Amino acid sequence: MPGFLLKRILQSLVLLLIVSVIGFVVLNLLPGGPLAQFGLDSSITQADLDRLREQLGLNRPLYVQYLDWAWRLLQGDWGHSFRDGAPVLEVIARHLWATFLLMGSSTIIAVSIGAWIGIRSATHRGSTFDYAATVGAMIALSIPTFWFGLVGIYVFSLKLGWLPAGNMYTIGDETVLDYLHHLILPSIVLALVHVAIWSRYMRSATLDVMNQDFVKTARAKGLSERRILMKHVVGNALLPMVTLAGIQLPSVLTGALVTETVFTWPGMGRLFLDSLGYSDYPVVMGLLMFSAILVIASNLIADIAVALIDPRIRLA
Amino acid sequence: MTSATLSQPIRERWWRSRTTRRFITNKLAMFGLGMIVLLVLACILAPHLLPYGSLDIDLRARFAPPFTGYHFFGTDPLGRDVAARLFEAGRISLAVGFSAMLLSTIIGTLVGVIAGYRGGWIGSVLMRTVDGFLSFPSIFLVLALAAALQPSAMMITIVIAATSWMEVARIVDAEVRSLREREFVQAGRMLGLSGAHIMFREILPNALGPIIVAATLTVARAILMEAYISFLGYGIQPPLPSWGNMLNGAQQYLGSAPWLAIIPGAAITIAVASFNFIGDGLRDAFDVRSDGH
Amino acid sequence: MTPQYQTDGATGPALSVRGLTIDLPKDMERRHAVEDISFDLQDGQILCIVGESGSGKSVTANTIMGLLPSSIRVSAGEIHLGGAEAGELIGAAPATLRNLRGRVVSMIFQDPLSALNPLMTVGEQITEVLTAHGVGTREWQRARVIELLTEVSLPDPQLMYHQYPFRLSGGQRQRVMIAMALALEPKILIADEPTTALDVTTQAQILHLIRDIQRRKGMSVMFITHDFGVVAEIADSVVVMEKGRIVETGSADAVLKSPSHPYTKRLIAAVPALTGENRAAASNAAPEPIIRVEGLGKTYRIGSALFGGEYLVKAVQDVSFEIGPGRTLGIVGESGSGKSSLGRLLVKLQDGNGGRILFEGRDIVPLSDAEFRPLRPKIQMIFQDPFASLNPRSTIGHILTVGPVAHGMDYPKARKEAQALLSHVGLDAGAFERYPHEFSGGQRQRIGIARALMFKPKLLVADEAVSALDVSIQAQILELLDQIQRETGVSMIFITHDLRVASQICDEIAVMQKGRIVEQGPPSQIFLDPRSAYTRELVDAIPGRMPAEARLSALN
Amino acid sequence: MTDKTPPKSGLSRRSALRLMAASGLATFVAPHFLGGAAFAQEDREPKGRVVVGMSQEPTVFNPLMVHNEVDDAVHFSVFDALFRIDPDGVIQPNLAAEVPSVENGGISEDGLNWRVRLRDDVKWHDGKPFTAEDVKYTLELIVDPKFLSWRTGGHSLVRDLTVVSPTEITWRMESEFAPYLAFLAETFMVPKHILGAAEDPNTAPFNQSPIGTGAFKWSNRVPGDRVELVANEDYFGEGPFIEELIFKYIPDMTVLYTQFQSGDVDLVDQSYITPDHYAEAKELPDRTVTLEPGSSIEGIFFNLERPQFKDPAVREALYAALDRQSIIDGIYYGVGTMTETFMPPLSYYYDPDLPKQEFNLDKARKILDDAGWVPGSDGIRAKDGVRLAFANSTTSGNHLREQVQQYMQQIYREIGVEMTISNLPPAVMWGDFWTKSQFDTAMSGVTFLIASDPDVTNRFASTSSAAKGGQGSNTMQYSNPRVDELLKEGRGTFGQEERKKIYTEVQQIIREDLPFLPIFAYTVVMGRKSGLEGFKFNPNTRTPSWHAAAWSWKD
């Protein structure tokens, strides 16, 4: 187990290196750059722009900039935002919880509803429920998230007036209830696709397990169907789901990013789009590294969780 | 020697194969196929049949709601016919979806086959690169690339392909890895066939099922991706309509002209769902374990 | 059909099946899984149901347990349970069936690994049977499980209780399954090919255990198998099935000694008998060996040196032998003995580390892939799995010609030779255009042999070439190989786990254990006068060393 | 994203030089609106909260650091400059006790030696007194090469900064620079005792929780969402009358409008109300929605080094084929003022008598025909192997501009001109692509004046083109020797009337040369709750929240 951990962490570091190189190169492919935001400002002259470029170190060769950035990162210095001069980690941390709130609530919705639909579909294979779940999941997977958000706003905010059109809270009314009220629409929008994904995977995992010999053994023992489902099927079917949860994280992040733009949610997604718009390299790179670390860490945690649950790995 | 006479088996043609039969008996898949055929036909024919061109600006007829005169889907902020634009856009969106699928499938298949068959450090490097790409929120790569390149239908296609080949690569890699251990591949080596021959002539045809399924789903994803990119303004540039950029301006008029958002969004959903139905049908058809519907 | 056979002094059948017909889903090859079958399982007896794959024997067993998948259903007949819990099983309420399962009727399966839940300990899984039927307190249950584990002779039952299935060997797992099946002392035990997945020595132990327990408890056992050797070992009575029908029933003695139905006769005849006779030399060629192996070794590294947890598996250690032209060397061993690794080393599908392989006097071990390529035509291989060894997307023609064409033969010539070879191995020349899935397993294995012969090789390595086939087909393929060797004078290395098969075709047999050759000699020595304890153990474990007269009468 | 809205560098103010002449008077007759002391006796208790909605997020709170116009709203509320420009374009004293002028001796006759007297009753938010040391520190920090300062123009000419007393500071200018007074009105003072003590002013904690002298004190920031300020009860000037001032970031302009409509937002700052909502907004109950003159000009900017634009006839024809009335009425909902020049309509120097453009396709065709641009087989005109085809670029995602582009595209096609649309994300569009003149044509809203001075050397002098190694913003690469001459003359001329003559001629030549095609002068739709009193729009600043100190809620 420690050997396995060490190996995974080393692999992760290599992955991070790859991610950072890809990110840095792609980012610097963008013409323009962080100073473009002043291009229209009548009072900033080319001389000022040249001065700033030099001060920010943007006139150095790309590899020097990368090495400098990477070296600082290794020392724990994520750099400072070009836009507000704040340390990148602090900038990210300030947007973190809004995103986590959204991702968390939608994940809870997605996992609980998705798992329920998936198990029910598998145990009622071929039923109307199964069929409806299959069709529903595929349609849900086909709806563009941002469009679903727009339609949601149109129906529930503009027409019915039940739910707010955006934002995380009403200024002056920052009660838990108020937050929840604002959370409903975006988290449902974000959850939609993932309910579909979870239900599909849960269904096939459950079916896989149900076809295994040990389920037959359990039946031959005279166990009740309920016990077979709860003790033998669900446990084994959830095992690959843990891994899936890790793998799904980037897509949840992407979804959160899109959802945040539609619902003007002050999270990392919006920070990302804004920073990209301003070519705030340190923040964009920071966000990339952060999300990559998040993804890698969650995969690692998923693997460890699987290892802890699965005696074949835990004790091997 | 014992006689081992060949019991005359019926020659199987592909259209009579079990896979085909499973597929055509899959109602959803056939529905999806039907929708795609209809959509493609509509996109080809509608611009010739509708009374308005997709670029005819008429500032006096702005924001006409659906079914105003011959504007069946209404008009947009420049008074252009939404129906004409929708089907014109369909050409672009579907073309982008298809070409992106082709491109990413080719890239993904190449990478996957080589990584899966060669294994070792080549495989590791290739698949770690795939992992690297997959560790980003894909929208980042897409946006950054789209922003870096001059937007055009071809560039968008390349951008989408460049960011969606990893899925195919993973599927092919896994498939090839398992096929590599099959005895017929060992037999190929035993016969002294070259690596390239074994990879592309012996193994690849056996991985076609999953590749076709992945490709179908990639079309769906590519259409969605084009919509995202164009929605965010980095994609297909006006006046060329695409489903995504039709939605782009629509958010602003959600209250006053909701059809501008609803119609192209519905078109995207229908097209993507149809491809998903087909992909799912194909998956069921290729998967010997499943019973289909 | 009525049962023709009753044991004397029987108290009536524990289970009787009458007129059972089970439908298959549409578009399968045949309409019924089993058709109008009737038989009785007598109280306190072992009934063997024998048949080749697809004969409907497992479906029958699952029907009795009420474990049929929903796509398959019983269309006629009844299954009557005798004894204290007498009742009709077909159409019984699910709750009734559930109550009977595990308590009155138990079952064990073929693959003991997948039959156990990987996430639960052995103890938990056995306890579940007791809990499900509401028997005993927790303490009592625990004591009972330990008692059961002891009863099936598992080592250290206290420890075993907390063990997860993956830690156990195949034989131990099957013992756990038996313990589980016995937990509530059922009247009837259904064993569905319980020894097929096991090595021959383990198989013997499990058979012994089942017979032993059956005798002690007076259980009725329905034992499903494809191997008449097993029948001879344990059966009281026999039911022979072919394609969903019963072709013969009777006492074990009667059926083995004087089978009446031609299918039964064929089956019995096809069971390779252990011959202690040496094979007549195929040729009297010079003793100059085709291939000489000296001190060959292969070590696998598992895990990683960098991160710890690395350990070495010595698959092949210091193996030496040689084969003369036109001779056959059998390599025999249980799973994990290294025999397959050895096969791969010989055809250079893997690289060895240590030792030499002198082929026609030249060491092929240090050759690179490219250097070895010109030599490949001379060393060919026949693979184990006729379904996996042919590319499903290629025509037979392509499969046969692609190799020679790659080595420079022009296509028309290759095509002509392929067609000639096809008829030589007993296939229609029309097979050339067809795809593998249009052929049966035996036919495919012939194609595999034809492919290997396309090059007119000097050495054929056959890796478990018949073990995936039904016994009747096995015999045909062995005959074909024998014939080919006589015609072409090719040397063969025949790798198998089945001593009986080896005895049929080999001039010399090498017995492998843990990567080493423990004994090598002609069949007469191996079977009649084994020098190593391990060989003796292997020979002793061969099920149902069938009386010679049984074979004789079957052949007549 | 920098350009979701047309920039509103509100610099339509009267000449600084004119003010230098007049400020002596101005100091005495300043309207009490800004007098501070005049209102002091009212001394109302601040109450209530104002939520200002903005579509970009303020992120830079150190007013000296390089920042965007979005940050101004916060700077104006937290900090004070030495002077302040009022809505009429008059420079008023703020931290300074008076506006220095030649008349009052604050500026020497040659314009090189400056003396500024400061108020003695100003305290920083932490209670420390504001002194001349702070001014010295501020002016020195701006030109510190290690400091990421905003513009250094003007400040780099300052020499010999001397603190005479806590309330008096003097310096010498390296060369005369007339607009400096106006520049100082946008130069906010920072506390030496805090920022000067920091290890690195670029990353000092001060930058995230600034301390100023302004009417509002820093309270809290929820990044990505809002900045909260609270009333500074010890403010030396008038106000504040509200207790809490919140700048709320709502990135989507439709949502911003919706929140204005619903009352979540009390006042719409930069980005304002989009023109398409104007008609609806002005009918809203309890909302005051007004049209205010902006200072930017929306136009099509040529890259004059492109061969097809070297022919003046082409530019003239393209102007004739520009259907400005339809664009303003149809696409911009009638919000916007027709103009023929770069000079903001409110400017003293604005020339109303320039020739009026007339939309006439026949005329456009004729001009091109006469100039020898004949249609080729594809219907596109060409001359000497140069096709009359070009790309037009602007910020992608700006829907109104995209509509204008598509409309123009269609019309240009009718006169045999091919215009393609190639829009770019803001970080690309306004980078080298714009500043180094890599575009064919660009559609943009540009503010031509710097700090209210009519001097446009930066935009039109042939030496100001970065693509040719210059240091200005002449991205059109415009070059006209006569204009160069006039601009030079204008910088050296002090009399207002004389200058007006010079800049009128400049406007005439530029109208003639058409280096850019003006579409309209911006008009902004200002919206606020009707109960919000004391609000005044100031076209001379870049933010409507330039003087939140005066705001109050009607009882």
What is the complex's ipTM, to 2 decimals? 0.74
For the cut 60, the answer to whether the pLDDT of residue C511 exceeds it is: yes
CA distance C485 to B6: 23
Residue type at position D145: P
Q: Which chain D residues have a beta carbon less than 8 Å from that of A47?
A: 152, 471
| CB–CB contact A147 B261 (8 Å) | yes
pLDDT at residue number D477: 93
pLDDT at residue number D171: 93
Strand pairing report for D516-529 and D441-446: unpaired
- Cα of C76 to nearest chain A Cα, Å: 23
Residue showing tokens 């946006």: B143
pLDDT at residue number D89: 74
- Cα of A226 to nearest chain B Cα, Å: 24
The closest alpha carbon to C64, from C24, C29, C37, belongs to: C37
Contacts of A294 by beta carbon, 8 Å cutoff, 6+ apart:
A249, A253
Tokens of residue B23, six digits: 């597929």
Asked if B140 reaches chain A (Cβ–Cβ under 8 Å), the answer is yes
Identify which of A36, A87, A271 has the shortest CB distance to residue D428: A36
Cis before D240 (ω within 30): yes
Superfamily of C291-543 according to CATH: P-loop containing nucleotide triphosphate hydrolases (3.40.50.300)
pLDDT at residue number D375: 92
Which CATH number applies to D11-213+530-553?
3.90.76.10
* CATH entry 3.10.105.10 includes domain D294-523: yes
Asked if A25 reaches chain B (Cβ–Cβ under 8 Å), the answer is no
Residue-range definition of the domain harbouring residue B185: 25-50+78-288
Binding-site residues on chain D for chain B (CB distance < 8 A): 252-254, 258, 274, 276, 326, 330-331, 396-397, 399, 402-403, 405-407, 409-410, 421-425, 427-428
B158 or B249, which is more confident? B158
Q: Which chain D residues have a beta carbon less than 8 Å from that of A46?
A: 435, 466, 470-473
Mutate to test the interface with B, among A7, A15, A142, A249 (most CBs of B within 10 A): A142
pLDDT band at A1 (very low <50, low <70, confident <90, very high): low
CA distance D331 to B62: 10
CA distance D104 to A153: 61
Q: Which chain B residues have a beta carbon less than 8 Å from that of D421?
A: 237-239
The closest alpha carbon to D46, from D261, D279, D319, D233, belongs to: D233
Task: Kindly report, residue by residue over D212-227, the tens digit of the pLDDT.
Answer: 999 999 999 887 788 9
| CATH code where residue B85 lies | 1.10.3720.10
Residue type at position A293: I
- Outline where C354-470 has alpha helix (H): 369-372, 396-406, 411-424, 441-453
Nearest CA in chain D to B76: D403
Asked if B174 reaches chain D (Cβ–Cβ under 8 Å), the answer is no
CA distance A96 to D534: 39
Residue type at position A270: R
The closest alpha carbon to D417, from D440, D448, D450, D444, belongs to: D440
**Contact assessment for residue D402 and residue B249, using Cβ atoms and an 8 Å cutoff:** yes
Task: Kindly report, residue by residue over A202-258, the tens digit of the pLDDT.
Answer: 888 898 888 888 888 888 888 888 888 888 898 888 888 887 787 778 778 888 878
> What is the rounded average pLDDT of the residues C388-402?
88
Nearest CA in chain A to C69: A211
CA distance C237 to C255: 8
- Cα of D186 to nearest chain A Cα, Å: 11
Q: Which chain A residues have a beta carbon less than 8 Å from that of C119?
A: 235-236, 239, 309-311
CA distance B205 to C36: 44
Percent of chain B clearing pLDDT 70 (strictly above): 91
- Cα of D476 to nearest chain A Cα, Å: 13
CA distance B91 to D490: 57
The closest alpha carbon to D68, from D8, D16, D11, belongs to: D8
Q: What is the DSSP letter of A94?
A: H
Task: Kindly report, residue by residue over A142-183, the tens digit of the pLDDT.
Answer: 888 888 888 888 888 878 878 887 777 776 667 788 888 888
Angle between helix A128-142 and helix B259-286 axes, rounded to 10 deg: 120
The size of the A-C interface in CB pairs under 8 A is: 92
Mutate to test the interface with B, among C402, C407, C451, C455 (most CBs of B within 10 A): C402
* Phi, psi dihedrals of residue D516, rounded to the nearest 5°: -145, 155
> What is the rounded average pLDDT of the residues C509-538?
88
**Contact assessment for residue D27 and residue D193, using Cβ atoms and an 8 Å cutoff:** no
Cα dihedral D406→D412→D414→D417 (10° resolution): -130
| CB–CB contact A19 B132 (8 Å) | yes
The number of residues making up chain B comes to: 293
What are the structural domain ranges in chain C?
113-185, 291-543
pLDDT at residue number D18: 38
Mutate to test the interface with A, among C104, C187, C190, C307 (most CBs of A within 10 A): C307
Alpha-carbon distance values, A30 to A80, D429, D443, D534 (Å): 20, 11, 21, 45
Nearest CA in chain B to D396: B233
Residue showing tokens 């002016």: D139
Three-class DSSP category at D99: coil
Task: Kindly report, residue by residue over C304-329, the tens digit of the pLDDT.
Answer: 555 555 667 788 888 999 888 888 99
A310 or C178, which is more confident? C178
Q: Which chain C residues have a beta carbon less than 8 Å from that of A309?
A: 119
- Cα of A288 to nearest chain B Cα, Å: 7
The closest alpha carbon to C64, from C13, C131, C113, C115, belongs to: C13
Count of other CB atoms within 10 angstroms of residue C145: 24
For the cut 60, the answer to whether the pLDDT of residue B64 exceeds it is: yes
B23 or D290, which is more confident? D290
CA distance D162 to D145: 20
What are the structural domain ranges in chain D?
11-213+530-553, 294-523
Residue showing tokens 């450090």: B121
Q: Which chain B residues have a beta carbon less than 8 Å from that of C443?
A: 4, 6
* First vs last C-alpha separation in chain C: 27
CA distance A1 to A315: 8
CA distance C427 to B5: 7
The closest alpha carbon to D310, from D517, D513, D519, D518, belongs to: D513
Three-class DSSP category at C334: coil
Three-class DSSP category at A266: coil
* First vs last C-alpha separation in chain A: 8
Tokens of residue C114, six digits: 């997948």
What are chain A's domains?
Answer: 2-74 (no CATH), 88-299 (1.10.3720.10)
Mutate to test the interface with B, among C28, C346, C389, C391 (most CBs of B within 10 A): C391
- Cα of B134 to nearest chain C Cα, Å: 26
Three-class DSSP category at A237: helix
* Phi, psi dihedrals of residue C118, rounded to the nearest 5°: -65, -20
Q: Which chain B residues have a beta carbon less than 8 Å from that of D250?
A: none
Asked if B38 reaches chain D (Cβ–Cβ under 8 Å), the answer is no
Task: Kindly report, residue by residue over A47-64, the tens digit of the pLDDT.
Answer: 788 888 888 888 888 888
Asked if A151 reaches chain B (Cβ–Cβ under 8 Å), the answer is yes
The closest alpha carbon to C292, from C215, C358, C216, C238, belongs to: C358
Neighbouring chains of A at 3+ CB pairs within 8 Å? B, C, D
Q: List strand residue ranges (DSSP E) for C24-140, in order.
A: 32-42, 46-50, 73-81, 87-88, 105-108
Low-confidence ranges of chain D (pLDDT < 50): 1-41
The closest alpha carbon to C447, from C438, C436, C433, C458, belongs to: C436
Mutate to test the interface with A, among C122, C128, C164 (most CBs of A within 10 A): C128
> What is the rounded average pLDDT of the residues B266-277?
90
| CB–CB contact D423 B232 (8 Å) | no
* First vs last C-alpha separation in chain B: 46
For the cut 80, the answer to whether the pLDDT of residue A298 exceeds it is: yes
Identify which of A45, A172, A267 has the shortest CB distance to residue D224: A267
**Contact assessment for residue A145 and residue A258, using Cβ atoms and an 8 Å cutoff:** yes
The number of domains in chain B is 1
List D292's β-bridge partners, or say none: D524
Q: Which chain D residues have a beta carbon less than 8 Å from that of A95?
A: 223-224
**Is B62 part of a structural domain of the chain?**
no
C11 or D86, which is more confident? D86
Angle between helix A213-220 and helix C170-182 axes, rounded to 10 deg: 30
Task: Kindly report, residue by residue over C82-126, the tens digit of the pLDDT.
Answer: 877 778 888 788 888 888 888 889 998 888 778 888 888 999 999
pLDDT band at C1 (very low <50, low <70, confident <90, very high): very low
Inspect the structure and tell me whether chains D and C have 3 or more CB pairs less than 8 Å apart: no
Mutate to test the interface with D, among B57, B81, B140 (most CBs of D within 10 A): B57
pLDDT band at C6 (very low <50, low <70, confident <90, very high): very low
pLDDT at residue number C287: 66
